Amino acid sequence: DTGVSQNPRHKITKRGQNVTFRCDPISEHNRLYWYRQTLGQGPEFLTYFQNEAQLEKSRLLSDRFSAERPKGSFSTLEIQRTEQGDSAMYLCASSLTSVSGLGDNEQFFGPGTRLTVL
Amino acid sequence: GENVEQHPSTLSVQEGDSAVIKCTYSDSASNYFPWYKQELGKRPQLIIDIRSNVGEKKDQRIAVTLNKTAKHFSLHITETQPEDSAVYFCAVHGSARQLTFGSGTQLTVLP
């Protein structure tokens, strides 16, 4: 499968625990995005990387959230001290976009990681 | 930031009829407008997109129209089929260089 992959697909954790999700984008895609989707809503932007550089973070990304893309390939999203309000589907997407960012191209989404915080 | 509004939130049509979903946006610098289809429990998948230098784009039964002056764009599905039933999201790529999504439309095609 050459699409975007995410692991794990499901994660159940207790409030206060830390969790880490992984996203493997389509190879050669230089942009990688993280979104959060709650039931009945559209995906909400969290952050994105251009290669290994994290270029933008949403105000939704509190200081408990951190994302990395150390080698410009896979990315991890960590949530520390999880809260029940963090329960959601976490989606990763990748795209091949010019450095200038002009004329954005299709974002391909992964299957998501469903987080449940008890 | 960008504000995207999508209507209606639910839409039921008879098989073979047309469906239209509308979105408005706030950032006049927005330049890319994709539409995604998301089936229950699955990932969003792009079905059609349009750039700001084009007013209309069609792909078989699906078309998108863009009115930059009014800052709205619409998805048109003709000859609907039961497999078109899903949640449809519009999205806008603006000056913030990120996609902002609408709240979604649950389309149900009745056989």
pLDDT per residue over B22-70, tens digit each?
999 999 889 899 999 999 989 999 999 999 888 999 999 999 999 999 9
Nearest to A45 among B32, B46, B98 (CB): B98
The C-alpha atoms of residue A67 and residue A61 are separated, in whole angstroms, by: 10
DSSP A43-89: -EEEEEEETTEEEEE-TTS-TTEEEE-TTSS-EEEEESS--GGG-EE
Beta bridge partners of B105: B88
Give the tens place of pLDDT for each residue, A20-56.
999 999 998 999 999 999 998 999 999 999 999 998 8
- Could you tell me if B100 lies within 8 Å of chain A, comparing CB atoms? yes
Give the tens place of pLDDT for each residue, B16-31.
999 999 999 999 889 8
CA-based nearest distance B39→chain A, Å: 11
